[in-house]
């Protein structure tokens, strides 16, 4: 049985996700033809610019904390 | 030594408080328009008007800005450094800041201004952000590998922005924690 992660990954060999959501008529598809995760784009667009700035900041801070932790080992 | 974590809001507020004319470009501008990408620095194009350069230099001093390219000593920006069309890679007390005189085909602040949107990115903090279509156009021309890699995400984000659809069920947004 595929994990949730595997189910949501695009089919790299074909460049398309193998699921009912890859149907071209389905406007709410999870991946675009070129493999872009459309769910993340819709999720980002649901925020205001101020909230997006916070997301950017939190992402950068998390990555920096991890980098610092790796360097500190 | 651990590097300073990015505090984009603090950098932007310092620049606005010093009345610096600038445009947010690059990864953060794309993200502010809704593209789901991660960036670790703040890129901006500033006006090279002489009075703006003075204000900008003061703002940079208050952020303890210095070159990221030299790690043995702090080389601080100067007016002549800010008055060039090239790129100045700075470290500040609030995180990395890339100061760009021009981007793309020698496009400076004045040329880019008509391709920007003013956004409120925090309470009472309004900044000019380069539009997504212009970002795509510039990255298409640059044709660098790192820019090409980002293009599909930017194009789809622009498409989705122009044809908005609600997030799927179970994908309701969770508000980021207030910082």
Q: Considering only CB atoms, which chain B residues are within 8 Å of A57? A: 6-9, 179
Q: Does residue A66 belong to the interface with chain B, where contact is any CB pair within 8 Å?
A: no
Contact call for A68 and B35, based on CB within 8 A: no
Q: B interface toward A at CB cutoff 8 Å?
A: 2-9, 28, 31-32, 34-36, 38-40, 95, 119-123, 129, 152-153, 156-157, 160-161, 164-168, 171-173, 175-179
Give me the mean pLDDT over the B155-164 stretch.
93
Number of alpha carbons in the 13 Å side-chain half-sphere of residue B69:
7
H helices of chain B, in order, are 8-17, 26-32, 50-62, 79-82, 109-112, 132-142, 145-162
Pairing of strands B125-130, B22-25: parallel
This complex has an ipTM of 0.85
**Beta-ladder partners of B46:** B22
Contact call for A57 and B9, based on CB within 8 A: yes
Residue B89 pLDDT greater than 50, yes or no: yes
Say whether pTM exceeds 0.90: no
Contact call for A32 and B152, based on CB within 8 A: yes
* pLDDT one-digit tens code per residue, B90-119: 999 999 999 999 999 999 999 999 999 999
Q: How many angstroms away from the CA of B33 is the closest CA of chain A?
A: 7
Would you tell me the crossing angle of helices B8-17 and B50-62 to the nearest 10 degrees? 130
Label residue B167 by pLDDT band (50, 70, 90).
low
B66, containing H or E segment: strand B66-67
Given a contact cutoff of 8 angstroms between Cβ atoms, the answer to whether A69 and B3 are in contact is no
Given a contact cutoff of 8 angstroms between Cβ atoms, the answer to whether B131 and B116 are in contact is yes
How many H-runs (helices) and E-runs (strands) does chain A carry? 3, 0
Torsion (CA) B77, B82, B84, B87 in degrees, nearest 10: 70
Residue A40 pLDDT greater than 50, yes or no: yes
CA distance B51 to B23: 16
Which chain A residue shows the shortest CA-CA distance from B11?
Answer: A57
């Amino acid at each position: 049985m595929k994990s949730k992660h595997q189910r949501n990954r695009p089919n790299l060999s074909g460049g398309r996700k193998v699921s009912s959501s890859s149907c071209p008529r389905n406007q709410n598809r999870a991946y675009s033809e070129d493999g872009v995760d459309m769910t993340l784009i819709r999720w980002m667009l649901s925020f205001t610019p101020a909230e997006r700035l916070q997301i950017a900041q939190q992402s950068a801070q998390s990555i920096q904390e991890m980098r610092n932790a790796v360097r500190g080992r | 030594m651990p590097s300073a974590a990015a505090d984009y809001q603090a950098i932007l507020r310092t620049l606005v408080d010093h009345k610096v004319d600038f445009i947010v470009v690059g990864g953060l501008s794309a993200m502010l328009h809704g593209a789901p990408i991660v960036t670790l620095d703040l890129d901006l194009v500033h006006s090279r008007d002489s009075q703006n350069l003075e204000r900008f230099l003061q703002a940079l001093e208050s952020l303890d800005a210095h070159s990221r390219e030299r790690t043995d000593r702090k080389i601080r920006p100067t007016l002549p450094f800010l008055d060039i069309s090239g790129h100045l890679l700075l470290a500040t007390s609030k995180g990395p800041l890339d100061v760009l005189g021009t981007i793309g085909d020698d496009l400076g602040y004045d040329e880019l201004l008509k391709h920007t949107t003013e956004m409120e990115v925090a309470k009472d903090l309004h900044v000019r952000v380069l539009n997504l279509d212009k970002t795509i156009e510039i990255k298409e021309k640059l044709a660098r590998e790192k820019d090409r890699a980002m293009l599909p995400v930017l194009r789809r984000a622009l498409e989705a922005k122009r044809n908005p659809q609600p997030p799927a069920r179970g994908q309701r947004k969770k508000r980021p924690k207030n910082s």
